Structure 1
């Protein structure tokens, strides 16, 4: 038996963001085709610990991710992603925080490529935590940016993120802001990556044509987007059962009567549809295990073969 241990440096060196986006896109297509066995993740201590298993039937491979989350520490996300195959005793054990950031960004990249205007070249990112850099990398991979504005309640965190990303964003105008409602007013793409429990802006704050990604809220008590935005947009989710159980935005909008279940489209079928969406689109992700499988599959192909 061989167990290959991969840290952040190993993972970043093995998988680029465009490769992760392509892999996650294929994973969602397989999910829509019924190729995965994927229970809703197990949540312990009100989100303090998460366990996410998934089995890919065509390859007889499985991934189990264990996370501990504490947003008062650094890093906030820690744990392991374990890749295994039925025909082999070899394993890949990867740093879960890195895989999570990469695969979450990749899903946003796939959704943005599908839903954002082809010429969109400005991004407002709300949040400057551990998930934030890969949100920018993913959007930039599918919609090369001319301008990036980072909004954070702590200005020093926004400035630090901008400086961290500067070497990767040559020629991009980089700015920071403190007022999310004012910042989103002219943005064709908005990414929300916070732990907020209340909406970050209103639908009226947004331009008429906009694509919004929201990945921060992963429990029913958390919420980044307002009901009126979901009511007036084409809403794409990662997976229905997970969204109905875990997305505070979806749960709140359904309970308020702002939307119905019929207003939600899963990403896999949306990718197959390929177009025909309205001027306002939302991708709401709570994160599902097939995303981890997609990145782990790439890692396994590169370190075990």
Structure 2
């Protein structure tokens, strides 16, 4: 088995290849080519209402592919006080024939970024990192300021109360919600989804249970069938999913093993694995 460090991974596959691989993975999912079990998770509670950490385990295999993939991802939210990163984990690539491990594992058209976060130090680090990559970065003081200055908003927090509310929104906005990937997490107030012309989910059942979509359904703000499948949209199987024409669109992503399979397969190919 080969252990591949992060720096080597970055040399093996570039962002255009990664985006293309994940896009094809979603299309394969829509076409019934992916076998993906339900995710498993561990929660590490602290005081009442506080989540100290979580661990997610996801995996997938594809018809005709020589590998299958299992990913273990952790988030422990007091780590910055220990001088450690919040997120950690690994991706394990295994042979579909023998079960033996094979390896452990900026083409967006966007040049201007606006960031809002809870930690001034983390924001300064982010601004420096992104500016070194060639982006122009500014800092927003509120969610409303962020929404009014951006066309696309990506939320990536472990929040247990909404970070964006209906009053923050503009008439035209595309929101990608990534952080709410387990019960108890929520980034978007239910009223945000109630205003959306399009709601897309990476996995209907998973987002009902884990995501912001499910929180909006339970709040009575949207129907439990109000979402479209992101996989079907990418595969051209979903009508009425024109994000360009939508006044407000929301994509709720809870994370699929097929994404890890796509990226890990591309890396394994670059490593020359059979």
- TM bucket, shorter chain: 0.7 to 0.9
Summarize the alignment of residues 215-294 of structure 1 with structure 2, pairs less than 5 Å apart. Answer: 215-233=178-196, 234-247=198-211, 249-273=212-236, 275-277=241-243, 278-294=246-262
1:227 and 1:207 map into 2 onto residues whose CA distance is 16
Residue equivalent to 1:71: 77
Residue equivalent to 1:24: 22
Q: Relative to structure 2, which stretch is displaced further, 62-71 or 155-164?
A: 62-71
Summarize the alignment of residues 130-169 of structure 1 with structure 2, pairs less than 5 Å apart. Answer: 137=106, 141-145=107-111, 147-169=112-134
Does the Cα contact within 8 Å between 1:35 and 1:56 map onto a contact in 2? yes
1:173 and 1:299 map into 2 onto residues whose CA distance is 30
TM-score of the two chains, using structure 2 as the length reference? 0.86
Q: Describe the SS at the equivalent of 2:129.
A: helix
Are positions 1:205 and 2:168 aligned together? yes
Alpha-carbon distance change, 90 to 13 in structure 1, aligned in 2, over 3 angstroms: farther
RMSD: 1.9
Residue equivalent to 1:186: 149
Residue by residue, what CA displacement relative to the aligned partner does 1:210-231 show, whole Å, maximum 9, x if unpaired? 1111111111211111112211
Give unpaired runs (5+ residues) of structure 1: 96-136
Does the Cα contact within 8 Å between 2:116 and 2:140 map onto a contact in 1? yes
TM-score of the two chains, using structure 1 as the length reference? 0.78
Which of 53, 67, 73 aligns to 1:61? It is 67
The answer to which structure has the higher helix fraction is: 1
For these two proteins, the number of residue pairs brought into alignment is 255
1:196 and 1:45 map into 2 onto residues whose CA distance is 14
Does the Cα contact within 8 Å between 1:64 and 1:81 map onto a contact in 2? yes
The offset of 1:22, in angstroms, is 0.6
Residue equivalent to 1:94: 104
Which of 154, 177, 200 aligns to 2:140? It is 177
The offset of 1:25, in angstroms, is 0.3
Residue by residue, what CA displacement relative to the aligned partner does 1:217-255 show, whole Å, maximum 9, x if unpaired? 1112111111122112111111112212211x1222111
Does the Cα contact within 8 Å between 1:237 and 1:284 map onto a contact in 2? yes
Alpha-carbon distance change, 62 to 148 in structure 1, aligned in 2, over 3 angstroms: same
Residue equivalent to 2:7: 9
Does the Cα contact within 8 Å between 2:114 and 2:150 map onto a contact in 1? no
